[in-house]
Amino acid sequence: MTQETLHETFVALLRDTYDAEKQLVKALPKLAKAADNEELVEAIRNHLAETEAQVTRLEEVFGIVGAPAKGKACKGMKGLLEEGNEAIQEEDKGELRDLAMIAGAQKVEHYEIAAYGTLRTLAEQLDLSDAVELLQQTEDEEKAADSKLTEIAMTIYESASDAEEDEEDEEEDEEQPARTTAVKSRGEGGKTRTAR
């Protein structure tokens, strides 16, 4: 395996990733609109700004290896985005759609983490230390974006189960008004539940 072969592999993956990031720049505004949870909307907008910077970083890496900044259609990202779109169409705006979007977005992040991991390793093998640093930065951002999505999913699950408990409380109100009054004075503001 010659350095030249490695170099070609590196540039090919660079082109694929460049196209993938550009597809994302186009798709993310639509995702932000489809999202309901405010934290999710903000996270998507943040990641859009990051993704634009990632595109620029890739252009810098093209410069470092002396190749033209040219994308090559990334079918993987296209497929992931198509699936994500289906989820949006199938659900109305709300928690279920948000969770479906998060699931799709996390697949996207993992796809990117894999691509940047390989790109960084190739850059290391090719002794392109400036490129290694740029690629590592992006890889770290993708990982942070992934963790943030997990966090938001957890808050959505929590608020969904709180809402379900409130609903149960209301049902109890109707059935046993006297007992519920006692429960309320004890459990107010907290998540503590009394035995039934």
Residues that bind Fe ion (CB under 5 A): 51, 54, 112, 142
Residue 74's binding partner among Fe ion, Zn ion, none (Cβ under 5 to 8 angstroms by kind) is Zn ion
| 74 binding Zn ion? (CB under 5 A) | yes
Amino acid at 19: D
Give min distance, CB of 77 to Zn ion, in A.
Answer: 6
Cβ proximity to Fe ion, 98 vs 139, nearer residue: 139
Which of helix, strand or coil describes residue 176? coil
Rounded-to-integer distance, Cα 157 and Cα 85, Å: 22
Residue 17's binding partner among Zn ion, Fe ion, none (Cβ under 5 to 8 angstroms by kind) is none
* Identified binder of Zn ion from the candidate list 76, 100, 138, 145, rule CB under 5 A: 76
Give min distance, CB of 24 to Fe ion, in A.
Answer: 6
Q: Judge whether 44 and 32 are in contact, CB under 8 Å.
A: yes
**Please, which residues have CB within 8 angstroms of residue 150's CB and are 6 or more apart in sequence?**
106
Cβ proximity to Zn ion, 46 vs 85, nearer residue: 85
Residue 142's binding partner among Zn ion, Fe ion, none (Cβ under 5 to 8 angstroms by kind) is Fe ion
Return the ∠ at Cα 190 (arms to 189 and 192), rounded to 5°: 140
| 81 binding Zn ion? (CB under 5 A) | no
Rounded-to-integer distance, Cα 145 and Cα 109, Å: 7
Which of helix, strand or coil describes residue 192? coil
Span interacting with Zn ion, options 9-17, 63-71, 116-124, 159-167, rule CB under 5 A? 9-17
Which of helix, strand or coil describes residue 64? helix
| Sign of the dihedral defined by the CA atoms of residues 49, 52, 56, 57, in that order | positive
Residue 23's binding partner among Fe ion, Zn ion, none (Cβ under 5 to 8 angstroms by kind) is none
Contact set with Zn ion (CB under 5 A): 16, 74, 76
